[in-house]
Amino acid sequence: MKVLGVVQRLAWVLGWGLGHRPAQAQPVPAPRAPLVVGAYAQGAIVVAHTEAVRHLAVSHPTGLELNAQRQTTGAAPWHGWYRFPKVGLALVYYDFHNPVLGRAFAVSPYISKTFSRGPRHDLSFRLGAGLGYLTNPYDQQTNHKNTIAGSALNANIQLRAEYDHALTEHLGLLVGLGLNHFSNGATSKPNFGVNLPALVLGLNYYQQRLAPHANEYAPAPADVGRPFGYVATSVGYKQRSDGDLRRYLVNSVTLAVGRRVNRKSNLLLGVEGFYDRSLKADLADTLRPGAAGPSVLKAGVFAGHELLFGRLAFGTQLGFYVYDPYKSSTVYYERLGLKYLFNDHLFGAIDLKAHRAVADVIEFKVGAKL
């Protein structure tokens, strides 16, 4: 899960949380969002990011991607704040050309932020997160060499720099350099994950290449500068080792306060408690029969940032355990997640909690904003 740190750094370096523009008094009706359809070929390598997967980094996977995306035009205020990105959905197929790994399929919603756009070019960066399916996961009896994926169902993360050059009024040639990552978040072991740096070449069909837009200087939302609080609880499942096929329940409870500091960003501080039942099994393996051991409950404090896209937020957090009688991990933890506000108060989220960039558990979270 080394890609975890890459995603965190890129979200800040790209400047998606920064920048202000002057307010516009009256919103202008946005034009219709034009459609862009693409088909790309991909050539990749398997990165030996740890010794446990080195024996699998011997092939050159090839892939195909089909995607459809909409060019935002200002219907929501955040479109202008991010210089009118594209939002889309990608369908991806990979053949690993390795009988141990098989093939991979993924469906991934994404957002593509433009850095330079003109009549004949578009330079952008894409960030996507979705679900992947690997055809040949680890099996102790039939596929024990696949240390990359312990389950067929995995999370998929896409990072990609893209350059599109106009060939005609509606057709563009796209060249890209990206990274595809598959991991199940320690739901099943082994879970070293697979990183696929890839060269991308393909064609885009533009319904309208340079779409008109409105509300470029949309005013800041009314809640900028206001504090808020939230309470949340989560549930997750994890496997503790290759030899133990049971799934252990993991729960957490979170109390946090935050402040919206600008159009694009929330800052957070919070406290939370964790109950990981797999640690009880680990502890039982080390104790004499009838002996009492330390508590496996943990409590932590964290600071975090949320990058806002309307009702959707991309969150990053760094936390430290302040109560940890059973020392099972590092003293700190990281979190990446997506949160969606159903209304002004209720939200749902999916978070990946990790220790030193190695996945610990995927958390499914519900909460209330106060």
DSSP string, 54-94: GGGTTS--EEEEEEEEEE--SSSHHHHHTTS-EEEEEEEEE
Q: Residues 74-84: what's their mean pLDDT?
A: 92
CA-to-CA separations, 41 to 66, 127, 131, 244, in angstroms, rounded: 9, 18, 20, 39
The highest-confidence range among 181-190, 229-238, 352-361, by mean pLDDT, is 229-238
CA dist 281 and 338 (Å) reads 30
Give the separation between CA 265 and CA 27, rounded to whole angstroms. 22
Counting residues of the chain whose pLDDT is more than 90, the rounded percentage is 76
248 pLDDT band, cuts 50/70/90, is very high
Nearest CA-CA partner of 274 in 292, 244, 249, 257: 249
Residue 21 has what pLDDT? 45
- The model's pTM is 0.86
Q: Computed from CA positions of residues 135, 180, 266, 111, in that sequence, does the dihedral angle turn out positive or negative?
A: negative
Kindly report which listed range (57-71, 142-156, 232-246, 315-329) carries the lowest average pLDDT score.
Answer: 232-246
Q: With 60 as the cut, is the pLDDT of residue 333 above it?
A: yes
Q: Which CATH class is domain 227-369?
A: mainly beta
At residue 6, the 3 state secondary structure works out as helix
Distance from CA of residue 144 to its chain's centroid? 28
**Secondary structure class of 223 (helix, strand, coil):** coil
| Tokens linked to 41 | 């070929």
C-alpha 180/C-alpha 186 separation (Å) is: 18
Unique residue bearing structure tokens 């470029």: 216
* Residue limits of CATH 2.40.160.20 in the chain: 28-206, 227-369
Q: Report CA-CA distances (Å) from 269 to 87, 121, 256.
A: 30, 42, 6
Q: Which residues contact 1 (CB under 8 A, 6 or more apart)?
A: 183, 193, 352, 354, 357, 358, 359
**Quick one: pLDDT at residue 16?**
47
Q: Output the DSSP codes for 267-317.
A: EEEEEEEEEEHHHHHHHHHHSPTT------EEEEEEEEEEEEETTEEEEEE
Q: Tokens representing 267?
A: 């800052």
28-206 adopts what CATH topology? Porin (2.40.160)
- With contact defined as beta carbons under 8 Å apart, do 79 and 170 qualify? no
216-to-29, 80, 252 alpha-carbon distances in Å: 11, 4, 41
Q: From CA 159, how far away is CA 165, in angstroms rounded?
A: 20
pLDDT at 335 over 70: yes
Supply the pLDDT for residue 361: 94
Q: How far is CA 365 from CA 62, 254, 302, in A?
A: 36, 10, 16
pLDDT at residue 5, rounded to an integer: 53
If DSSP codes are grouped into helix, strand and coil, which group holds residue 170? coil
Burial class (CB within 10 angstroms; exposed 0-12, middle 13-18, buried 19+) of 158:
buried
Report the alpha-carbon distance of residue 67 to residue 349 in Å, rounded.
25
Give the integer Cα–Cα distance in Å for 368 and 229.
9
pLDDT at 26: 62
Residues 6 or more apart in contact with residue 301 via CB below 8 angstroms? 269, 270, 271, 272, 319, 320, 322
CB-based burial label for 196 (10 Å; 0-12, 13-18, 19+): buried
Mean pLDDT score of the chain, rounded to an integer?
A: 91
| b/e per residue 47-64 (b: at least 16 CB within 10 A) | bebeeebeebeebebebe
How high is the pLDDT of residue 128?
96
